[in-house]
Chains A and B, each alone.
Chain A
């Protein structure tokens, strides 16, 4: 009766096998970092608001809500800190996280936004596609690059010519195609 169709993500052999486990203690540390971050953000908002000279004659100026929200952030941050050290945290028993894959996906996105204006949409998006595919265990780099290129080219054509949007073709390409522009 039941037919399990090929589950495409089988476990793969990996070389970075051992750094995956995140313990309950690091979950607590993570929650503490979030709490501390919120407190810091609250402080930043309060300081920045204090330093901004106020304009306007309204009954309630533009500074009230930033102060309220920064106060809220500090209070919530404190209560998260309390939870981190004394209360219940998520996945207190630990959670396996493949941080290498996370770093690769994040790097792919960073490369895309760093290169987008110079190289243009098609090359930078192809790199993004290949990086994310690799992070999800896709090992055939050339196939992934080819599919990424096809998808990037398709979206470029469809959105720029079909829907009138402005995906960048890249300053390098622009310089090559119109040499007398400068």
Chain B
């Protein structure tokens, strides 16, 4: 009952004309930027941060919610029509979605993605409404030791799940952790690794690193490759509507995708990659014509797209109630909260109910707006795909440097952006995933803080992490996630070598 009252109050906040306007602007620019090739949800949110600086927090986060969902919708358009998934959650959509576009069924693929995203987003937002307060209750049982173990688990899953080799994932993670060390130590006030540069005392900003890796690194990579790759965009032709058969084949995958996406999204399991992949496998197993999969089966677009959006809502549950980011996009949202001096967690629900519930309510509203934006107006977004590449990427870098500079009005951030961008290019060429770096950068200092608090409480006895049952269980799961695949790999090494490096050039940055 409390939850419904709080949600109702949130709707009162979100439905004021002023906030409704920001929600509408958020979903529109979120879709517009998300549609652009090479820009996934994480980068969309990072690039649009400066737009919200002038707003008070509640309106800013209502706009953010719109940007976040809008970027998810926009990303599916790019993967279907251009076969250029902007993030790992859209890879699966791109397979059959692009095949449908090649057969002239692009409009149907976009429709099933949009309607599936709407249904999944709405159900998952409803689930978020009820799960988040439960998680807050859970969070109240957590002490520093449990928080530390939870963060270790999140860092491990992001690293172990993504990428082709554990060593490369760990390389990215430790780079992020190292970058997170820079600046003043939160507990003693001692400067670490600042090398006498005053601008480094505040630390290296997550947003600068995310934009450097996702935008600058990616642009450098595309610049190096674009002469050797041709892209095909397929125009939307014929009927824009889904046939009876399309509906019949789509609605069950939508619901199943939602069922997979939301719970996995709430776990610290690396966001949307696993649920989209599982949804694809489930639909293939259950399909009447599994042979169509890979060649343009509508189920293979409907299910994963629903799973993708449902997990996007799921990711918000640990982010809002525990302050735990489980994907690169969530890491940037957490950075945005910190920018406003807010720390997500139980206290946020107590102290800023307007903000939290206004934001959750605006997710429902944003979903409705997005359905309108993406079904009748999809032809308009498709036009954005036609922006000449030289101007598109030049524009991306203009907005990247704008975002990095306006964080602190300081040129040092642009130098850091440049260095991180070159690093990102190298990582991209060597197939090193970049998401662990971003998540490590923001979670590393938080994990250290909890670790030191836990030891301060236990008066230096390090066994607290193993004597507290929740903490011990979380740490054991984390250890299994690292060691398990290692053992499996060693066993299968005799059978076949060379299983890791994937040759694909169209892999997204996440």
B337 within 8 A of A: no
Does B230 contact A11, Cβ atoms closer than 8 Å?
yes
| A61-B188, A109-B418 known; A69 vs B224 contact (CB < 8 Å) | no
Does A113 contact B415, Cβ atoms closer than 8 Å?
yes
B406 within 8 A of A: yes
A70 to B256 alpha-carbon distance, docked (Å): 44
Does B223 contact A58, Cβ atoms closer than 8 Å?
no
A144 to B498 alpha-carbon distance, docked (Å): 45
CB 8 Å contact bits of B225-255 with A (1 = contact, 0 = none) = 1111011111101100000000000000000
- Tell me the residues in window 145-182 of chain A with beta carbons closer than 8 Å to chain B beta carbons: 147-148, 151-152, 155, 159, 163-168
Question: Quick one: which of B54, B225, B501 contacts A89, CB cutoff 8 A?
Answer: B501
B472 within 8 A of A: no
Does A164 contact B54, Cβ atoms closer than 8 Å?
yes
Does A106 contact B418, Cβ atoms closer than 8 Å?
yes
A27 within 8 A of B: yes
Does B225 contact A98, Cβ atoms closer than 8 Å?
yes
CB 8 Å contact bits of A83-114 with B (1 = contact, 0 = none) = 10001111111011111011011101110110
A91 to B388 alpha-carbon distance, docked (Å): 28
| A5-B234, A101-B224, A132-B390 known; A59 vs B456 contact (CB < 8 Å) | yes
CB 8 Å contact bits of A68-90 with B (1 = contact, 0 = none) = 01101100110110010001111
User: Closest Cβ of chain B: how far from A108's Cβ, in Å?
Assistant: 7
Q: Which residue of A lies closest to B166 (CB)?
A: A79
CB 8 Å contact bits of B119-146 with A (1 = contact, 0 = none) = 0000000000000000000000000000
Does B233 contact A76, Cβ atoms closer than 8 Å?
no
Does B230 contact A113, Cβ atoms closer than 8 Å?
no
Contacts of A48 in B (CB 8 A): 193, 195
Question: Quick one: which of B170, B386, B409, B415 contacts A166, CB cutoff 8 A?
Answer: B409
A101 to B425 alpha-carbon distance, docked (Å): 12
B460 within 8 A of A: yes
Question: Quick one: which of B103, B411, B418, B430 contacts A117, CB cutoff 8 A?
Answer: B411
B53 within 8 A of A: yes
A142 within 8 A of B: no
Contacts of A55 in B (CB 8 A): 188-190
Q: Which residue of A lies closest to B184 (CB)?
A: A62
Q: Which residue of A lies closest to B216 (CB)?
A: A109
User: Closest Cβ of chain A: how far from B393's Cβ, in Å?
Assistant: 5
Question: Quick one: which of A62, A93, A105 contacts B397, CB cutoff 8 A?
Answer: A105
Sorting the interface of chain B by its residue count into under 10, 10 to 19, 20 to 34 or 35 or more gives: 35 or more
Does A7 contact B230, Cβ atoms closer than 8 Å?
yes
- Tell me the residues in window 138-179 of chain B with beta carbons closer than 8 Å to chain A beta carbons: 164-165, 167-168, 170-171, 174-175, 177-178
Contacts of A49 in B (CB 8 A): 192-193
Q: Which residue of B lies closest to A71 (CB)?
A: B174
Contacts of B455 in A (CB 8 A): 59-60
Does B418 contact A30, Cβ atoms closer than 8 Å?
no
Does B177 contact A72, Cβ atoms closer than 8 Å?
yes
Does A163 contact B54, Cβ atoms closer than 8 Å?
yes
B429 within 8 A of A: yes
Contacts of A45 in B (CB 8 A): 178, 181, 193
Does A56 contact B188, Cβ atoms closer than 8 Å?
yes
B426 within 8 A of A: yes
A77 to B189 alpha-carbon distance, docked (Å): 30
A14 to B227 alpha-carbon distance, docked (Å): 10
CB 8 Å contact bits of A1-37 with B (1 = contact, 0 = none) = 1111111111110100000101000010011011100
Question: Quick one: which of B174, B395, B451, B460 contacts A72, CB cutoff 8 A?
Answer: B174
Does A7 contact B232, Cβ atoms closer than 8 Å?
yes
A23 to B423 alpha-carbon distance, docked (Å): 20
Q: Which residue of A lies closest to B170 (CB)?
A: A76
| A59-B459, A167-B406 known; A7 vs B418 contact (CB < 8 Å) | no
Contacts of A69 in B (CB 8 A): 174, 177-178, 181, 444
Contacts of A88 in B (CB 8 A): 165, 497-501
Contacts of A101 in B (CB 8 A): 223-224, 226-227
Does A9 contact B431, Cβ atoms closer than 8 Å?
no
Q: Which residue of B lies closest to A66 (CB)?
A: B181
Does B167 contact A80, Cβ atoms closer than 8 Å?
yes
User: Closest Cβ of chain B: how far from A23's Cβ, in Å?
Assistant: 13
Contacts of A98 in B (CB 8 A): 223-228
Q: Which residue of A lies closest to B415 (CB)?
A: A113
A23 to B102 alpha-carbon distance, docked (Å): 33
Contacts of B426 in A (CB 8 A): 30, 33-34
A12 to B415 alpha-carbon distance, docked (Å): 32
User: Closest Cβ of chain B: how far from A69's Cβ, in Å?
Assistant: 5
User: Closest Cβ of chain B: how far from A63's Cβ, in Å?
Assistant: 8
Does B53 contact A163, Cβ atoms closer than 8 Å?
yes
Does B429 contact A90, Cβ atoms closer than 8 Å?
yes
A40 to B364 alpha-carbon distance, docked (Å): 49
Does A132 contact B178, Cβ atoms closer than 8 Å?
no
B422 within 8 A of A: yes
Does B225 contact A97, Cβ atoms closer than 8 Å?
yes
Question: Quick one: which of A4, A33, A92, A148 contacts B501, CB cutoff 8 A?
Answer: A92
User: Closest Cβ of chain A: how far from B397's Cβ, in Å?
Assistant: 5
Does B174 contact A76, Cβ atoms closer than 8 Å?
yes
Does B167 contact A76, Cβ atoms closer than 8 Å?
yes
Does B192 contact A62, Cβ atoms closer than 8 Å?
yes
Contacts of B18 in A (CB 8 A): none
User: Closest Cβ of chain B: how far from A142's Cβ, in Å?
Assistant: 14
A152 to B54 alpha-carbon distance, docked (Å): 20
A70 to B193 alpha-carbon distance, docked (Å): 12
Q: Which residue of A lies closest to B414 (CB)?
A: A113
B467 within 8 A of A: no
- Tell me the residues in window 41-67 of chain A with beta carbons closer than 8 Å to chain B beta carbons: 41, 45, 48-49, 52, 54-56, 58-62, 65-66
Does B232 contact A4, Cβ atoms closer than 8 Å?
yes
Most B C-beta atoms less than 10 A away, residue of A30, A90, A112, A116? A90
| Given A62-B188, A133-B390: 15 more A-B contacts, CB < 8 Å | A1-B104, A6-B386, A7-B230, A9-B226, A20-B228, A48-B195, A65-B181, A72-B177, A89-B501, A90-B501, A109-B418, A132-B219, A148-B394, A151-B395, A164-B54
The 9 closest A-B pairs by CB, nearest first: A138-B390, A90-B431, A56-B188, A1-B104, A113-B414, A132-B394, A136-B390, A133-B390, A62-B185
Can you identify 10 A-B contacts, CB atoms within 8 angstroms? A2-B104, A7-B233, A9-B230, A11-B227, A55-B188, A56-B188, A59-B455, A93-B503, A96-B228, A109-B418
